[in-house]
Amino acid sequence: MRVSRFGAAIGAATALALALTACGSDTEKTEAKTVAQKAKETKKITVGVKYDQPALGLKKPDGTFEGFDVDVAKYIAKELGVPESGVTFKETRSENRESFIGGGQVDLVIATYSITDARKKQVTFGGPYYVAQQDTMVRADDNKIKKPEDLKGKKLCKAAGSNSFRRVTEGPPDGKLGIKGVNLVDASSYSECTAKLGTGALDAVSTDDLILAGFANQQKGKFKVINSPISEEKYGVGIKKGDTETCEAVNKAVTKMYQDGTAKTLLEKHFAGTGLQFKTTAPPAEGCA
Protein backbone atom coordinates (compact mmCIF):
# COMPACT_ATOMS: atom_id res chain seq x y z
CA MET A 1 0.00 0.00 0.00
CA ARG A 2 2.69 2.40 1.09
CA VAL A 3 4.96 1.36 -1.76
CA SER A 4 2.34 1.75 -4.35
CA ARG A 5 1.43 5.21 -3.03
CA PHE A 6 5.11 6.17 -3.10
CA GLY A 7 5.35 4.78 -6.60
CA ALA A 8 2.32 6.71 -7.67
CA ALA A 9 3.74 9.91 -6.19
CA ILE A 10 7.00 9.47 -8.06
CA GLY A 11 5.10 8.72 -11.21
CA ALA A 12 3.05 11.87 -10.86
CA ALA A 13 6.07 14.02 -10.09
CA THR A 14 7.95 12.66 -13.08
CA ALA A 15 4.97 13.22 -15.31
CA LEU A 16 4.60 16.77 -14.02
CA ALA A 17 8.29 17.48 -14.53
CA LEU A 18 8.12 16.12 -18.05
CA ALA A 19 4.99 18.13 -18.76
CA LEU A 20 6.64 21.30 -17.50
CA THR A 21 9.76 20.70 -19.56
CA ALA A 22 7.71 20.00 -22.64
CA CYS A 23 5.52 22.98 -21.98
CA GLY A 24 8.48 25.31 -21.39
CA SER A 25 10.31 24.32 -24.55
CA ASP A 26 7.13 24.42 -26.61
CA THR A 27 6.27 27.90 -25.45
CA GLU A 28 9.78 29.10 -26.12
CA LYS A 29 9.73 27.66 -29.61
CA THR A 30 6.32 29.07 -30.52
CA GLU A 31 7.20 32.50 -29.24
CA ALA A 32 10.57 32.60 -30.92
CA LYS A 33 9.38 31.45 -34.32
CA THR A 34 8.55 33.99 -36.94
CA VAL A 35 6.35 33.13 -39.90
CA ALA A 36 9.47 33.10 -42.09
CA GLN A 37 11.19 30.58 -39.78
CA LYS A 38 8.09 28.40 -39.55
CA ALA A 39 7.64 28.45 -43.32
CA LYS A 40 11.23 27.42 -43.90
CA GLU A 41 11.06 24.55 -41.41
CA THR A 42 7.60 23.16 -42.07
CA LYS A 43 7.37 24.01 -45.78
CA LYS A 44 3.80 25.13 -45.04
CA ILE A 45 2.06 28.47 -44.86
CA THR A 46 -1.53 29.68 -44.48
CA VAL A 47 -2.43 32.76 -46.49
CA GLY A 48 -5.62 34.78 -46.13
CA VAL A 49 -7.10 35.74 -49.49
CA LYS A 50 -10.47 36.94 -50.74
CA TYR A 51 -12.73 34.20 -52.15
CA ASP A 52 -15.11 36.44 -54.10
CA GLN A 53 -13.07 38.98 -56.04
CA PRO A 54 -12.55 38.04 -59.73
CA ALA A 55 -9.01 38.54 -61.06
CA LEU A 56 -7.68 38.99 -57.50
CA GLY A 57 -8.78 36.26 -55.12
CA LEU A 58 -11.45 33.88 -56.31
CA LYS A 59 -12.38 30.40 -55.15
CA LYS A 60 -13.60 28.45 -58.14
CA PRO A 61 -16.36 25.82 -58.01
CA ASP A 62 -13.74 23.06 -58.27
CA GLY A 63 -12.11 24.32 -55.07
CA THR A 64 -9.03 25.86 -56.69
CA PHE A 65 -8.04 29.49 -56.40
CA GLU A 66 -7.16 32.11 -58.97
CA GLY A 67 -6.25 35.76 -59.20
CA PHE A 68 -3.40 38.20 -58.89
CA ASP A 69 -3.32 38.05 -55.08
CA VAL A 70 -3.39 34.25 -55.20
CA ASP A 71 -0.41 34.18 -57.58
CA VAL A 72 1.48 36.78 -55.53
CA ALA A 73 0.86 34.61 -52.47
CA LYS A 74 2.30 31.54 -54.24
CA TYR A 75 5.35 33.53 -55.37
CA ILE A 76 6.06 34.92 -51.91
CA ALA A 77 5.51 31.49 -50.35
CA LYS A 78 8.04 29.98 -52.75
CA GLU A 79 10.58 32.64 -51.81
CA LEU A 80 9.96 31.78 -48.14
CA GLY A 81 10.77 28.15 -48.94
CA VAL A 82 7.21 26.82 -49.31
CA PRO A 83 6.21 24.92 -52.47
CA GLU A 84 2.75 25.51 -53.97
CA SER A 85 1.50 22.27 -52.40
CA GLY A 86 2.34 23.68 -48.95
CA VAL A 87 0.19 26.80 -49.35
CA THR A 88 -3.21 26.70 -47.66
CA PHE A 89 -5.62 29.45 -48.58
CA LYS A 90 -8.12 30.66 -46.00
CA GLU A 91 -10.87 33.13 -46.67
CA THR A 92 -10.30 36.55 -45.21
CA ARG A 93 -12.94 39.21 -45.61
CA SER A 94 -12.21 42.90 -45.27
CA GLU A 95 -13.57 42.86 -41.73
CA ASN A 96 -11.57 39.97 -40.28
CA ARG A 97 -8.11 40.59 -41.73
CA GLU A 98 -6.67 42.18 -38.57
CA SER A 99 -8.17 39.60 -36.20
CA PHE A 100 -7.03 36.67 -38.36
CA ILE A 101 -3.47 38.00 -38.42
CA GLY A 102 -3.46 38.81 -34.70
CA GLY A 103 -5.04 35.48 -33.72
CA GLY A 104 -2.76 33.39 -35.93
CA GLN A 105 -5.58 31.94 -38.08
CA VAL A 106 -3.44 32.99 -41.03
CA ASP A 107 0.29 33.61 -41.40
CA LEU A 108 -0.06 36.28 -44.08
CA VAL A 109 -2.92 38.25 -45.60
CA ILE A 110 -2.74 39.01 -49.32
CA ALA A 111 -6.21 40.32 -50.01
CA THR A 112 -6.44 43.76 -51.65
CA TYR A 113 -5.30 45.03 -48.26
CA SER A 114 -4.46 48.73 -48.28
CA ILE A 115 -1.75 49.97 -45.98
CA THR A 116 -3.46 52.63 -43.84
CA ASP A 117 -2.44 54.55 -40.73
CA ALA A 118 -5.13 52.92 -38.59
CA ARG A 119 -4.20 49.40 -39.70
CA LYS A 120 -0.49 50.00 -39.18
CA LYS A 121 -1.21 50.20 -35.45
CA GLN A 122 -2.38 46.57 -35.49
CA VAL A 123 -0.48 44.96 -38.35
CA THR A 124 3.03 44.95 -39.82
CA PHE A 125 2.84 45.42 -43.59
CA GLY A 126 5.21 43.96 -46.13
CA GLY A 127 5.18 45.53 -49.58
CA PRO A 128 3.52 47.37 -51.15
CA TYR A 129 3.37 44.78 -53.95
CA TYR A 130 1.08 47.00 -56.05
CA VAL A 131 -0.36 50.51 -55.85
CA ALA A 132 -3.97 50.55 -56.95
CA GLN A 133 -6.10 53.63 -57.43
CA GLN A 134 -9.54 54.04 -56.00
CA ASP A 135 -12.18 54.69 -58.63
CA THR A 136 -15.96 54.44 -58.82
CA MET A 137 -18.20 51.97 -60.64
CA VAL A 138 -21.80 52.70 -61.65
CA ARG A 139 -24.40 50.96 -63.82
CA ALA A 140 -23.55 51.15 -67.52
CA ASP A 141 -26.58 53.33 -68.26
CA ASP A 142 -25.90 55.86 -65.49
CA ASN A 143 -25.07 59.29 -66.86
CA LYS A 144 -25.38 61.23 -63.62
CA ILE A 145 -22.33 60.07 -61.69
CA LYS A 146 -19.25 61.28 -63.56
CA LYS A 147 -17.00 62.30 -60.67
CA PRO A 148 -16.86 61.47 -56.94
CA GLU A 149 -18.58 64.77 -56.03
CA ASP A 150 -21.68 63.53 -57.89
CA LEU A 151 -22.08 60.90 -55.16
CA LYS A 152 -23.73 63.51 -52.92
CA GLY A 153 -27.30 62.36 -52.30
CA LYS A 154 -26.57 58.98 -53.91
CA LYS A 155 -26.38 55.50 -52.38
CA LEU A 156 -22.79 54.33 -52.03
CA CYS A 157 -21.67 50.90 -50.89
CA LYS A 158 -20.03 50.54 -47.48
CA ALA A 159 -18.27 47.17 -47.42
CA ALA A 160 -17.71 46.00 -43.85
CA GLY A 161 -14.12 46.45 -42.67
CA SER A 162 -13.03 48.13 -45.87
CA ASN A 163 -11.52 51.58 -46.01
CA SER A 164 -12.85 52.64 -49.43
CA PHE A 165 -16.07 54.41 -48.35
CA ARG A 166 -13.95 56.53 -46.01
CA ARG A 167 -11.95 57.91 -48.94
CA VAL A 168 -15.23 59.39 -50.20
CA THR A 169 -17.01 60.46 -47.02
CA GLU A 170 -14.18 61.28 -44.60
CA GLY A 171 -11.01 63.36 -44.57
CA PRO A 172 -7.35 62.31 -44.06
CA PRO A 173 -5.47 60.35 -42.93
CA ASP A 174 -7.59 57.32 -43.84
CA GLY A 175 -10.29 59.27 -45.66
CA LYS A 176 -9.73 61.63 -48.56
CA LEU A 177 -12.55 63.73 -50.02
CA GLY A 178 -14.86 64.26 -47.03
CA ILE A 179 -17.99 64.56 -49.19
CA LYS A 180 -21.07 65.14 -47.03
CA GLY A 181 -24.57 63.87 -47.79
CA VAL A 182 -23.59 60.50 -49.28
CA ASN A 183 -26.00 57.72 -48.27
CA LEU A 184 -23.96 54.69 -47.23
CA VAL A 185 -25.53 51.28 -47.78
CA ASP A 186 -24.06 48.34 -45.87
CA ALA A 187 -22.72 45.23 -47.56
CA SER A 188 -20.50 42.41 -46.35
CA SER A 189 -18.15 42.36 -49.33
CA TYR A 190 -17.47 43.84 -52.77
CA SER A 191 -19.31 40.97 -54.43
CA GLU A 192 -22.37 41.98 -52.44
CA CYS A 193 -21.77 45.66 -53.34
CA THR A 194 -21.68 44.69 -57.02
CA ALA A 195 -24.84 42.59 -56.74
CA LYS A 196 -26.63 45.50 -55.04
CA LEU A 197 -25.43 47.90 -57.72
CA GLY A 198 -26.89 45.55 -60.32
CA THR A 199 -30.31 45.45 -58.66
CA GLY A 200 -30.45 49.21 -58.07
CA ALA A 201 -30.23 48.85 -54.28
CA LEU A 202 -27.33 51.29 -54.53
CA ASP A 203 -25.96 53.74 -57.09
CA ALA A 204 -22.21 53.32 -56.91
CA VAL A 205 -19.33 51.19 -55.66
CA SER A 206 -16.13 53.09 -54.97
CA THR A 207 -13.02 51.02 -54.37
CA ASP A 208 -9.70 49.90 -55.90
CA ASP A 209 -9.53 49.98 -59.69
CA LEU A 210 -8.28 46.36 -59.76
CA ILE A 211 -11.37 45.17 -57.87
CA LEU A 212 -13.73 47.18 -60.08
CA ALA A 213 -11.99 45.96 -63.25
CA GLY A 214 -12.43 42.37 -62.10
CA PHE A 215 -16.17 42.71 -61.47
CA ALA A 216 -16.87 44.86 -64.56
CA ASN A 217 -15.08 42.29 -66.71
CA GLN A 218 -16.88 39.35 -65.06
CA GLN A 219 -20.29 40.86 -65.84
CA LYS A 220 -19.56 42.53 -69.16
CA GLY A 221 -21.76 45.42 -70.26
CA LYS A 222 -23.50 45.80 -66.91
CA PHE A 223 -21.23 48.33 -65.22
CA LYS A 224 -18.75 51.09 -66.03
CA VAL A 225 -15.89 52.62 -64.12
CA ILE A 226 -16.05 56.45 -64.24
CA ASN A 227 -12.26 56.83 -64.47
CA SER A 228 -11.98 59.58 -61.87
CA PRO A 229 -9.36 58.30 -59.43
CA ILE A 230 -9.50 59.35 -55.80
CA SER A 231 -6.49 57.87 -54.03
CA GLU A 232 -3.49 55.60 -54.15
CA GLU A 233 -4.09 52.26 -52.47
CA LYS A 234 -0.85 50.61 -51.46
CA TYR A 235 -1.43 46.87 -51.31
CA GLY A 236 0.40 45.43 -48.33
CA VAL A 237 1.08 41.90 -47.15
CA GLY A 238 -0.44 41.71 -43.68
CA ILE A 239 1.87 40.16 -41.07
CA LYS A 240 1.58 39.83 -37.29
CA LYS A 241 2.56 43.11 -35.63
CA GLY A 242 6.28 43.18 -34.89
CA ASP A 243 7.34 40.24 -37.12
CA THR A 244 9.89 42.32 -39.01
CA GLU A 245 11.96 39.30 -40.01
CA THR A 246 9.06 37.98 -42.08
CA CYS A 247 8.31 41.46 -43.38
CA GLU A 248 11.88 41.81 -44.64
CA ALA A 249 11.75 38.41 -46.30
CA VAL A 250 8.45 39.36 -47.95
CA ASN A 251 9.93 42.63 -49.22
CA LYS A 252 12.87 40.76 -50.73
CA ALA A 253 10.40 38.50 -52.52
CA VAL A 254 8.39 41.46 -53.82
CA THR A 255 11.53 43.17 -55.16
CA LYS A 256 12.50 39.95 -56.92
CA MET A 257 8.98 39.49 -58.30
CA TYR A 258 9.32 42.81 -60.16
CA GLN A 259 12.97 42.30 -61.13
CA ASP A 260 12.44 38.90 -62.71
CA GLY A 261 9.38 40.04 -64.65
CA THR A 262 6.86 37.89 -62.73
CA ALA A 263 4.81 40.88 -61.52
CA LYS A 264 4.34 42.09 -65.09
CA THR A 265 3.42 38.59 -66.28
CA LEU A 266 0.87 38.17 -63.49
CA LEU A 267 -0.71 41.60 -64.03
CA GLU A 268 -1.03 40.85 -67.73
CA LYS A 269 -2.41 37.38 -66.99
CA HIS A 270 -5.22 38.74 -64.85
CA PHE A 271 -5.93 42.22 -66.19
CA ALA A 272 -5.07 42.33 -69.88
CA GLY A 273 -8.37 42.68 -71.68
CA THR A 274 -10.22 44.24 -68.73
CA GLY A 275 -9.51 47.76 -69.99
CA LEU A 276 -7.58 48.61 -66.85
CA GLN A 277 -4.38 50.65 -67.23
CA PHE A 278 -2.18 48.78 -64.80
CA LYS A 279 1.37 49.65 -63.78
CA THR A 280 4.15 47.13 -64.14
CA THR A 281 6.93 49.06 -62.40
CA ALA A 282 7.88 48.20 -58.83
CA PRO A 283 6.15 50.35 -56.21
CA PRO A 284 8.48 52.36 -53.96
CA ALA A 285 9.58 50.14 -51.07
CA GLU A 286 8.56 50.96 -47.52
CA GLY A 287 10.33 50.00 -44.32
CA CYS A 288 9.21 47.25 -41.98
CA ALA A 289 8.19 49.38 -39.01
The residues of the shown chain that bind ligand GLU, judged by CB under 6 A, are: 94, 111-114, 159, 162-164, 207-208, 211, 233
CB of 132 to ligand GLU, least distance (A): 7
- Smaller CB separation from ligand GLU, 75 or 130: 130
| 119 alpha carbon, distance to own chain's centre | 12
Categorise residue 67: left if φ over 0, alpha if ψ from -120 to 50, beta otherwise: left
- Smaller CB separation from ligand GLU, 17 or 118: 118
Neighbours of 51 (CB within 10 A): 18
- Smaller CB separation from ligand GLU, 65 or 113: 113
Picking from 114, 133, 128, the residue whose alpha carbon sits closest to that of residue 288 is 128
Which residue's CB atom is positioned nearest to ligand GLU?
162
- Smaller CB separation from ligand GLU, 39 or 216: 216
CB of 127 to ligand GLU, least distance (A): 12
CB of 81 to ligand GLU, least distance (A): 28
Quote the CA–CA distance of 131 and 141 in Å, as a whole number: 29
CB of 68 to ligand GLU, least distance (A): 13
| Burial category of 212 from C-beta neighbours within 10 Å (exposed 0-12, middle 13-18, buried 19 and up) | buried
The answer, yes or no, to whether the previous bond of 173 is cis (omega within 30 of 0) is yes
Taking the CA atoms of 79, 81, 86 and 92 in sequence, report the sign of the dihedral they define.
negative
CB of 244 to ligand GLU, least distance (A): 22
Picking from 47, 195, 186, the residue whose alpha carbon sits closest to that of residue 111 is 47
| Burial category of 175 from C-beta neighbours within 10 Å (exposed 0-12, middle 13-18, buried 19 and up) | middle
CB of 83 to ligand GLU, least distance (A): 27
